[in-house]
Amino acid sequence: MHALHESVSALMRTVAADVVLPRFRNLAAGDVSEKTPGDPVTIADRESEVRLHAGLAALLPDARIVGEEATAADATLLDRIDEGAVWIIDPIDGTFNFAAGRPPFAIMVALLRDGAREAGWILDPLSGRMCHAARGLGAWIDGDRVSARGSGGARLVAGISTLFMPPARGAEIEARAAGRIDLAPIPRCAGEQYPRIVLGENDLAMFERTLPWDHAAGALFVEESGGTVRRLDGTAYHVGDGRTGLMAAASPRIWDEAAAILL
């Protein structure tokens, strides 16, 4: 696993340097479009995915590859995602930020084996921070083993993304949090929100939409650092289950405490 980690990390850093960073704050008008209303994609997203796809295919020739942009063109790529070895690519997580010329944004890669999250990588191209996790082996930031820690405040600090929630449900969750949980501004980048839990900046995060490329790597990173990631009904998170709603917390105790308030 160590050799694979080094190879994937090197690939991601190369793509960040060669493709992503040169386009940051340097996009022409025609370099940005919308896949669906409010869901932008840039030339850097597409070029990043092509480069990552080629590099990952060379590392594990027998693995299937499911990239965000390829899936936007062919949704059948998600079929049988729980079978065999599968690479999951988010070429730029936080495209809304990237297209607007502001951080944060990330590059994320995950490896599944028969549906189980085997390994995950989250690179912040601007700072160079690499978060990595391997199932059953732990979590690291830039090579240093990390353990999730709560914020330590009098109240829990939560990043709750209501972007894709039905408005009534989002309003209900925010009302339940009032006076009991402090709501932090969301970064609009799962590749930033998951590390914030491990680093003690936030105690928990809640998401409605849980597309594989947005959550496979980050959820494993939180879990392998000692945190907990579950569906909102308390059941386990599986990448290929097609469900919505997910909450990640820095510990099982924090997850339960937040659930009792919010859910």
CATH code of the domain covering residue 230:
3.40.190.80
**Cβ(252)–Cβ(234) under 8 Å?**
no
Helices 43-59 and 2-15 pack at an angle, to 10 degrees, of 150
Model pTM score: 0.96
Distance, CA of 136 to CA of 139 (rounded, Å):
9
Q: Looking at residue 138, what is its pLDDT? A: 98
* C-alpha to C-alpha distance for 1 and 20, rounded to whole angstroms: 26
Tell me: do 229 and 140 sit in the same domain: no
User: What is the pLDDT tens value at each position of the chain, 263 positions in all?
Assistant: 788 999 999 999 999 999 999 999 999 989 999 888 888 999 999 999 999 999 999 999 999 999 999 999 999 999 999 999 999 999 999 999 999 999 999 999 999 999 999 999 999 999 999 999 999 999 999 999 999 998 999 999 999 998 889 999 999 999 999 999 999 999 999 999 999 999 999 999 999 999 999 999 999 999 999 999 999 999 999 999 999 999 999 999 999 999 999 99
Would you call 159 exposed, middle or buried from its count of C-beta atoms within 10 A (0-12, 13-18, 19+)?
Answer: buried
Question: What pLDDT score was predicted for residue 244?
Answer: 95
* CATH assignment of the domain containing 91: 3.30.540.10
Q: Decide if 203 contacts 158 (C-beta within 8 A).
A: yes
Q: How many domains does the chain have?
A: 2
98 and 70: one domain? yes
Q: Is position 150 within any domain?
A: no
Which residue range is the domain that position 240 belongs to?
Answer: 156-262
Based on the number of CB atoms within 10 Å of its own CB, is 245 exposed (0-12), middle (13-18) or buried (19 or more)? middle
Q: What is the identity of the amino acid at 24?
A: F
d(CA 96, CA 2): 33
230 plus 119 within the same structural domain: no
Is residue 130 located within the same domain as residue 12?
yes
| 223 domain-assigned | yes
